[in-house]
């Protein structure tokens, strides 16, 4: 049975996350419906690189598919997209080695979070609008506190008794893009709600409500403060999944062009 590698983008707004669930609309479940329809078989295996939560988006989810089909990879891609709703799109399908596993073989993942510094009529589904003035320099200074191998037990909804909460965060970056603040987190893997809770604490740092020393204390022991400040899923994108020898994304590209330029000239009717 051949194995295919799929690259997928999706708007997670109206889905209950990636992972297939009973009585819930999910990305994985909807793609599996399309696979059954296109290939005419229910005898296949379809695994993603990892789950994304309800409302979270993906620019570069990776999955592998084992299925017996005579369809060429590009025809398979086109037929799947014909069956899928407009908020799920298969970008690319490649033949993969039988030993390739989308989740187990991934060596790093990157997430992009978009904060909007202004109210937007168009991008609400893809940003977190912060009304308060944020101290960008303080937020940027706090980034290094999260990098390296750290215990993120205070930054997850996972049970630390059930799994390890130690995660290697390779890098964190921030940049301005017009009315957006972009935050990128690259790591070996991520715990449930970890990225959103890190972003939430960074925003509290920017608001002046949390100090760097308090961030250090969250990383030294258990605290419920990050959970109380979990950022909404709307601004979060699974940016990329990386495998051995693959090139990483370098430039942080905003998802919303309408917010990524300076709109000050539009103020006061100008």
User: Active-site residues: which are they?
Assistant: 53
The DSSP output letter for 112 is: E
DSSP states along 199-245: HHHHHHHHHTSS-HHHHHHHHHS--SHHHHTPPPGGGEEEEEEEETT
Classify burial at 1, counting beta carbons within 10 Å of its beta carbon; exposed 0-12, middle 13-18, buried 19 or more. exposed
Nearest one of 40, 42, 62, 60 to 50, comparing CA atoms: 62
| Closest CA relative to residue 202, chosen from 226, 228, 224, 186 | 226
DSSP state of 154: G
Nearest one of 256, 163, 252, 150 to 201, comparing CA atoms: 150
Question: How far is Cα 39 from Cα 32, in angstroms, rounded to an integer?
Answer: 10
Report residue 38 as tokens: 């296109």
């Amino acid at each position: 049975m051949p194995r295919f590698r799929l690259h997928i983008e999706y708007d997670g707004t109206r889905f209950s996350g990636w992972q297939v669930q009973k009585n819930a609309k999910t990305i994985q479940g909807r793609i599996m419906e399309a696979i059954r329809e296109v290939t005419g078989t229910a005898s296949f295996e379809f695994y993603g690189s990892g789950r994304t939560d309800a409302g979270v988006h993906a620019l570069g989810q990776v999955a592998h598919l084992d299925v017996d089909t005579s369809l060429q990879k590009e025809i398979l891609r086109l037929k799947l997209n014909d069956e899928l709703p407009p908020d799920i799109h298969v970008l690319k399908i490649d033949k993969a080695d039988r030993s390739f596993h989308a989740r187990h073989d991934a060596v790093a993942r990157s997430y992009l979070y978009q904060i909007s510094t202004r109210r937007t009529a168009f991008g609400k589904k893809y940003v977190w609008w912060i009304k308060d003035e944020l101290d960008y320099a303080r937020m940027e200074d706090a980034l290094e506190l999260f990098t390296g191998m750290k215990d993120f037990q205070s930054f997850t909804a996972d049970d630390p008794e059930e799994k390890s909460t130690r995660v290697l965060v390779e890098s964190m970056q921030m940049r301005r893009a017009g009315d957006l603040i972009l935050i990128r987190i690259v790591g070996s893997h991520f715990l449930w709600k970890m990225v959103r809770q890190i972003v939430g604490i960074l925003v509290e740092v920017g608001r002046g409500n949390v100090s760097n020393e308090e961030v250090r204390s969250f990383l030294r022991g258990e605290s419920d403060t990050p959970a109380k400040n979990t950022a909404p899923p709307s601004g979060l994108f699974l940016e990329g999944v990386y495998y051995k020898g693959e090139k990483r994304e370098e430039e942080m590209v905003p998802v919303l062009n309408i917010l990524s330029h300076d709109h000050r000239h539009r103020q006061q009717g100008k």
